[in-house]
Amino acid sequence: MQQQTLYDLSFDQLTQLLTDLGEPKFRARQVWEWLYQKYVPDVAAMANLPKGLREKLSTAVHLSPLPIASEQHSRDGLTKKVLFQLPDGQFIETVLMRYDRRRTLCISTQAGCAMGCVFCATGQMGFFRHLSVGEIVTQVLHFARELAQTGEHVTNIVMMGMGEPLHNYTNTMTAVDRLTDPTGFNLGARKITISTVGLVPAIRRYADEQQQTPLAVSLHAATDEERDKLIPVNRRWPIAEVLDACRYYVEKTGRRLTFEWALIAHENDTVEQAQALGKLLHGLLCHVNLIPLNPTAGYGGQPSSRERVAAFQAELARYGVSSTVRVRRGIDIQAGCGQLRDRVVSSNQ
Question: Active-site positions?
Answer: 93, 337
Distance CA 155, CA 19 (A): 34
Count CB-CB contacts under 10 A for residue 275.
16
Nearest-CA neighbor of 211 among 175, 165, 241, 253?
Answer: 253
Q: What is the CA radius of gyration of the chain?
A: 21
Q: What share of the chain is helix, strand, coil (3-state, %, to 5)?
A: 40, 20, 40
Strand partners, 95: 81, 106
- Give me the helix-helix angle, 11-20 and 26-36, nearest 10°: 130
Q: To which H or E segment does residue 29 belong?
A: helix 26-36
Count CB-CB contacts under 10 A for residue 224.
13
Enter the DSSP assignment of 296: B
Q: How many residues does the chain have?
A: 349
**Three-class DSSP category at 5:** strand
Nearest-CA neighbor of 214 among 202, 206, 204?
Answer: 206
